[in-house]
Chain A
Amino acid sequence: MALPKHADRLERIWYYTYLVLCGLIFLFLIAPILIVIPLSFNAEPYFTFTEKMLAFDPTGYSSRWYDMLLTFGMADGSAARDGSWWADVWENSAWVNAAKNSVIIGFFSTILATCLGTLAALGLSRPEMPFRRVIMAVLISPMIVPIIITATGLFFFYSKTGLANSYVGIIMAHATLGIPFVIITVTATLVGFDHSLTRAAANLGADPTTTFFRITMPLILPGVISGALFAFVTSFDEVVVVLFVAAHDQQTIPRQMWNGIREQISPAILAVATILVVISILLLTTIELLRRRSERLRGLSPG
């Protein structure tokens, strides 16, 4: 919205105020996320910029908190950093173990959510689907119902069925939480889907399975992958269900962070936060590239 030439003085003032306001709101959105990055390199255990940091004195910065992420929980963190030290990190470091658990749970729940969700989205986007609206509402509801209610229900249910304290239980719960995202992204991709392509494939003699893997799948793949990424992020960021149904030794990254924040917040948390911010920047880039590819494939916009 460029300012027209005939704008009067008041309109000009208002226009520039508006731009400044927007700038401030963008700052409000992004600053809290970026501020943790420099602070995680603080040499002192404080949550603010020290004078040395402000003067860009190299001694004010250090990577000690990143080092602590590795050594915390190790049998002998101060030993010489050779092969056995790294083996010790892999075996015993609390954060490394939490990361391993998070990745395992995230991986399997994503696979589960993506497979089931994509299948269901294919069914839901057919015009002849019965009770479409109600079923859609039920399948999206895990995203709308507060996580504390889901966790409470799962706690009662799992303690009755013996799924509590098991990986299977957490993976199933996380898959449920990720499913709405898969359904939303895949149905969005299917909205612009040209069904004459599948009919053409059938006409040329392809059976439904071949048609799906050769025609439909490549076209909806961007939507499936972004849905899968959403599901993975949901699992990777989920703490309440894990707190309620997981065993004490089943630490995940968010749970470890939660404990760290509640008990004694140290800049090590900021180091983790920085790593997670970098991961989310990578994810956002991937999603954006996928979106452009999907639009190009479907010929929606010049991208």
Chain B
Amino acid sequence: MADLTADIATGSAPGRLTTADGKPLKAALAAAESHARRRAFFLVLPLLLFVLITFIFPIVQMLHQSIYNPGFTLHRDVGTGVKTPIMINVRNWFDENERGSDPDESAYAALHKDFLLLDELRAAGSVGTRINYDMSGTRSLFTKTARRADKLTPPFQEGFLAIDKDWSDPEVWAVMRGASSAYTANFYLAAVDLTRDVKGDVVSVDDNRALYVKLFGRTLFLSLLITFLTFILAFPVAHLLATLPLRYSNLLMIFVLLPFWTSLLVRTTSWMVLLQSQGVINDALVAGSLIEDESRIQMMYNQTGTVIAMTHILLPFMILPLYSVMRTIKPVYVRAARSLGATSWTAFRRIYFPQTVPGIGAGALLVFILAVGYYITPALVGGADGQLISNLIAFHMTNSLNWSLAAALASLLLVGILILYWLYDRLIGIDNLKLG
């Protein structure tokens, strides 16, 4: 306590340290430091803003799309861009009546009013598509009903049932209730093979429609397999490169760096050329009479093709971190172990290998992260059963146009990747990422 007061006393004494222009040294230092901090930050700021606009915003937009689908609530005219709220009456009916109540005449009357608007806007197709996401086979129900809506007269219930008996199906009404709010978690449920039943409870979908969990599982399995294969292939090569004299290893490094620099599409094309049933490998096997001409091995358009091509493409990402760690391992440790009587295997297992673990960790994590999100190679050589989760996202984006489901799948994948990325940063550090 006495010391503290003494300090304060000296601090305020007339003879304290100041800069040339009379400012206290402490304040001047703080000002200089914050100036330096600001300067460093302003150098980074332009790029940060740029990445925010071209990368972070789009990702946020995608996350929004995964929980927001206004297909049943809002119609946007493609030509004019005018937005019109739709299905208002039936949404009101849903608000007034609790879940599970049977649709009565007032519900059908509300639906009729909405269908008149849909017919006028020519929006029945898009509304049907929205309902179709949750219950397949219902799109035509909506287009058909909209065409005949203007001829309907009360009582509407019978009129609707005359058009299609499906209008009495409680599931149709449950799905419409689910879609009546633009914000929904249903796409996430769909992305993990779950759905809501008539009562609104979460249940798993039929086994023959369950697809995504299996695909996530396959993506994980194939990525692990590819990571393991790259490790097996990279270890001896990295060891050789790290122990050879620099002038030889620099030369051999070309074999690793040339694939790294070659276009991904070129490498995939090369594998297609090699693996085709009329391709180089099969021809060589037939020419060497190792296999019969009729029994050429199918190595492409299946999982084998995906695994071979991706192992080749990701191999440099395993070799480079392993190499940079092995380079720093001093050979004297192994020599010491040998001179103390260890066999070469024991020396490798107990002394050399444990020192390479940081490199293995860095390489394995990097390869796994890249493999999980791979798209191009599986799309070209994967066929039907070599597809990964990315390919399904692309399918929903470009073919089935179920964008919200694509966004939900992508968000799940993104969460997984970010966890691994965080782990990588924690264990290895982003700064230690090296290229070539």
Listed in ascending order, the chain A residues whose CB lies under 8 Å from chain B are: 1, 11, 14, 18-19, 21-22, 25-26, 28-30, 32-33, 35-36, 39, 46-49, 112, 116-117, 119-120, 122-124, 126, 128-130, 133, 135-142, 144-150, 152-158, 160, 172-173, 175-176, 179, 181, 184-185, 187-188, 230, 233, 236-237, 239-240, 243-244, 254, 257-258, 261-262, 265, 269-270, 273, 276-277, 280-281, 283-284, 287-288, 291
Contact = CB atoms under 8 A, between A and B. Distances in A.
A123 B47 CA distance: 11
A261 B373 CA distance: 21
Which of A11, A29, A130 counts the most chain B CB atoms within 10 A? A29
Contacts of A122: 43
Contacts of B111: none
B240 A22 contact: yes
A165 B116 CA distance: 35
B48 A153 contact: no
Interface stretch (B128-136, B355-363, B413-421): B413-421
Interface of B: 33, 36-37, 39-44, 46-48, 50-51, 53-62, 65, 233, 236-237, 239-240, 243-244, 252, 254-259, 261-274, 276, 278-280, 283, 312, 315-316, 331, 344, 369, 372-376, 380, 390, 393-394, 397-398, 403, 406-407, 410, 413-414, 417, 421, 424-425, 430-431, 433-436
Contacts of B431: 136, 187
Contact of B407 (A47, A152, A176, A277): A152
B256 to A, nearest CB: 6
Q: Which DSSP category, helix, strand, loop or mixed, fits chain A's interface?
A: helix
19 contacts: A1-B331, A19-B240, A25-B236, A29-B312, A30-B255, A30-B259, A122-B43, A126-B36, A128-B36, A133-B425, A137-B421, A147-B373, A149-B59, A153-B62, A233-B261, A233-B263, A269-B269, A276-B266, A287-B261
A138 B375 contact: no
A254 B263 contact: yes
Contacts of A244: 397-398
B48 A176 contact: no
Given A130-B41, A261-B272, 18 more contacts: A22-B240, A29-B315, A33-B258, A47-B280, A48-B278, A124-B40, A126-B39, A139-B51, A144-B421, A148-B373, A149-B373, A149-B393, A149-B413, A149-B414, A152-B393, A154-B54, A270-B273, A276-B266
A187 B433 CA distance: 11
A122 B36 CA distance: 13
Contacts of B59: 145, 149-150, 153
A146 B390 contact: yes
Given A11-B344, A33-B267, A119-B47, A148 B410 contact: yes
List of 10 A-B pairs having minimum Cβ-Cβ separation, nearest first: A146-B373, A123-B43, A153-B58, A157-B58, A1-B243, A120-B47, A123-B44, A32-B270, A153-B62, A126-B40
A26 B237 contact: yes
Given A135-B44, A145-B373, A188 B257 contact: no
B236 A18 contact: yes
A135 B51 CA distance: 11
Contact of A21 (B236, B374, B394): B236
B273 A148 contact: no
Contacts of B397: 152, 155, 244
A136 B431 CA distance: 8
Contacts of A1: 239-240, 243-244, 331
B57 A157 contact: yes
Nearest to A155: B397
B416 to A, nearest CB: 10
A36 B280 CA distance: 11
B47 to A, nearest CB: 4
B261 A283 contact: yes
Contacts of A155: 397
Nearest to A267: B273
A261 B269 contact: yes
Given A240-B376, A284-B261, A273 B269 contact: yes
B349 to A, nearest CB: 14
B132 to A, nearest CB: 21
Contacts of A29: 255-256, 258-259, 312, 315-316
Given A48-B280, A147-B373, A237-B265, A128 B40 contact: yes
A173 B410 contact: no
Contacts of A33: 258-259, 262, 266-267, 270
B424 to A, nearest CB: 8
Given A48-B278, A124-B44, A130-B37, A284 B254 contact: yes
B258 A280 contact: yes
A22 B261 contact: no
A289 to B, nearest CB: 12
A220 B4 CA distance: 49
B36 A46 contact: no
Given A119-B43, A149-B62, A138 B255 contact: no
Given A1-B243, A25-B237, A129 B41 contact: yes
B269 A160 contact: no
B375 A273 contact: no
B417 A284 contact: no
Max chain B C-beta neighbours (<10 A), residue from A152, A184, A236, A284: A152
A227 B376 CA distance: 24
B266 A36 contact: yes
Given A140-B433, A270-B269, A156 B390 contact: no
Contact of A156 (B280, B403, B430): B403
A179 B54 CA distance: 12
B326 to A, nearest CB: 11
A181 B435 contact: yes
A130 B279 contact: no
A150 B48 CA distance: 17
